Amino acid sequence: MTSEEIIALLPYQSPFLFVDEIVSIDENSIEGNYRYDKSLSFYAGHFKENPITPGVILTETMAQIGLVAFGIYLMQRSGESLSKMQIALSSTEIDFYKPVLPDEKVTVKSIKEYFRFNKLKCAVEMHNAQGELICRGKIAGMIKV
């Protein structure tokens, strides 16, 4: 399965798709990136005259790349049909260290902690273009087919 096929199977579309590219993926990890366009609507109010990307959007980006795209890949490898797939986020624990500004490109790296009974839990990190740690934590979710 190619990265383009995985992205096409994501249950999101613009303006709520936060995956530009999957750089690498295997049975234990995934890496992908996204650039937050300055025209995204949330920048108008978060914060006045000092826009930064909301933490909930950073968490969503980590979940889309590090959990959902990864889960699609893992489910497909196990032979599951993905045509009626449903995904539910079950837990997050994220620590934030640096802000993300408009037009900034981030890279998400996710390492599988476990995948069983269609539940995936991963350790995720987000880095900026300079390689600095923006945030990290754990994300888990369920995939129903």
DSSP characters over the chain: --HHHHHHHSS--TTS---SEEEEE-SSEEEEEEE--TT-GGGGTSSTTS----HHHHHHHHHIIIIIIHHHHHHHHTT---TT-EEEEEEEEEEE-S---TT-EEEEEEEEEEEETTEEEEEEEEEETT--EEEEEEEEEEEE-
* Of 46, 119, 121, 136, catalytic: 46
46 catalytic? Reply is yes
- Active centre residues (catalytic): 46
